[in-house]
A and B are shown apart, each in its own frame.
Chain A
Amino acid sequence: METIVPKTSDALTALLRADFTTQWRNRRSSVLVLLVPVIILISWKGIIDKVGGAFVLSSCVTIGLIAIGLMGYSNAIARDRDKGVFQRLRATPVPSWAIMVSRLIVQLVMIILLTALVFLAGYYYDGIIIPPIGYLLGFTAAIVGGALYLGLGQMIVGLLKNAETVNSTTRLVYFVFIMVGMLGEFGLFGEGIKNSVQWSPYGTVKNILSASMTPSTWNNRTFIALLITIVYAVVFSFLGIKKFKWSSK
């Protein structure tokens, strides 16, 4: 009898079909992840003239990216690890990396959906118009920023084993990022916090998103923000992958 090791592409297709189905069945929570940035976008209509369209759009995309990385990705990984879903899949002739790549592709689609939704809502509800290249670069920056938050989610799920602890930690981090990032950026917590926020994962992602949507504003500071974003993403992902255990037992 001949041993047939299935093609990784075939296995990945099966995994993707299952992971997209799972995401679709969880559409209520997916909608919530997408809805929060849109609600903020609509409610900020009054300040667009003051802070600029790119500022509002980039803030909303950043908030959505945090939700995707922390609430969506890491919680789903922690739950499936806790239930033994990964162990069952790992007992098949599929490389372990393919299991994670499938999950990440689903989140990549969520990032693209989120960005498109924010751009559309910004255009239709708030009348925000950015140059076509801004949309293209905006999508690219969203993917880079998304990598940072998926890396952060991976780090949390790598450092913490218990699904409940992961859940509460990601909620806390999400809340801190939104409150300190968003409000701190407006200077509500003082100049010190405002400066720190700029180089935090919230600030650097928001900065590169904003500058990508209006490419004429790219400067050295944005370039440094991009580098820091990449460093954050690499460090978080490295720690998350190194510390990750496939089983919570």
Chain B
Amino acid sequence: MSDQPGSSILQVEKLNVSYGTFKAVSDVSFDVRAGEIFGLLGPNGAGKTSTLSAVEGLLHFESGTITVAGFDTKKKPLHARANMGVQLQSTSFQPELKIAEIIQLYAGVYGVSLSSEKLNDLLHDIKLEESAGKRFGQLSGGQQQRVSLVIATIHNPVLVLLDEPTSGLDPQSRRQLWERIEAIREKGHAVLLTTHSMEEAEAVCDRIAIIDHGKVVTIDTPQVLIDRHRNDPEVISVSRKGKITLEDVFIGLTGRTVRA
């Protein structure tokens, strides 16, 4: 397995996911490289979470291959999962457990030995040493996201999957989380995140894929996408500030219609 800068950590090829007769993901292919933050953008119901869930091994996909750190998620699911850290859209832990206990649980399931000193360091790092005895539900949204991110990275995975990590956070918490996500990239690890925030995608993502109706519409760096589509009539027609932004490109490519 290689996590040299630029090498592929996650490879998704011709992924197809269906719910009954509804095709949620259709022939989706992309890769996420070491030292890269890759954003998966799309309107509601576009297939982002289904794609992410397939990578996480949480749903059965009909066809295609997903490889994490060289391990096929169907053939070697435990090896693949051992190489990824996950933050789900609505993370939930047993409500009876305290923060320190939740961290210990996940350290245990990832096979990480966690001394009380190391646990305190982790809590100190996310500024929650005072909240070790609190329940997850008693924390603010920002604090919950910090705990979730610590758990997702407790085993130092080469790939971190974040499903709308900054959703519902205030600007301070969002900025802080961006810094933490960037710190993961600086370690040379890969990050795949979904977001509805174009500002976030533009600010933190090295490359993005826009997905709609289960298909990848385009993949590139935010700036290249803006440059490539700045003269599209659909993009110009939705531009509001005279300057083309990623949001304009996104709406231009996926349409103005509000999705359910």
Contacts and interface: CB of A to CB of B under 8 A. Distances in A.
B81 A13 contact: no
B225 interface: no
A17 interface: yes
B162 to A, nearest CB: 12
Contacts of B93: 85, 88
A246 B58 CA distance: 9
A2 B96 CA distance: 35
Interface string B131-152: 0000000000000000000000
Given A3-B83, A95-B78, A14 B107 contact: yes
Interface stretch (A4-12, A109-117, A216-224, A232-240): A4-12
B91 A93 contact: no
- Looking at B69, B84, B94, B105, the one whose CB has the most chain A CB atoms below 10 A away is B94
Contact of A84 (B3, B88, B97, B102): B88
Interface in A1-30: 1-7, 10-11, 13-15, 17-18, 21-22, 25-26
A51 interface: no
B81 A93 contact: yes
Contact of A1 (B84, B91, B106, B158): B158
- Return the 8 tightest CB-CB contacts between A and B, nearest first: A14-B108, A6-B111, A25-B96, A93-B82, A91-B86, A83-B92, A84-B92, A93-B81
Interface of A: 1-7, 10-11, 13-15, 17-18, 21-22, 25-26, 80, 83-85, 87-95, 246-247
Given A1-B158, A80-B94, A85-B92, 18 more contacts: A3-B69, A3-B71, A6-B109, A11-B108, A13-B108, A14-B106, A15-B108, A18-B97, A26-B96, A88-B86, A88-B91, A90-B58, A91-B57, A91-B58, A92-B110, A93-B109, A93-B111, A94-B109
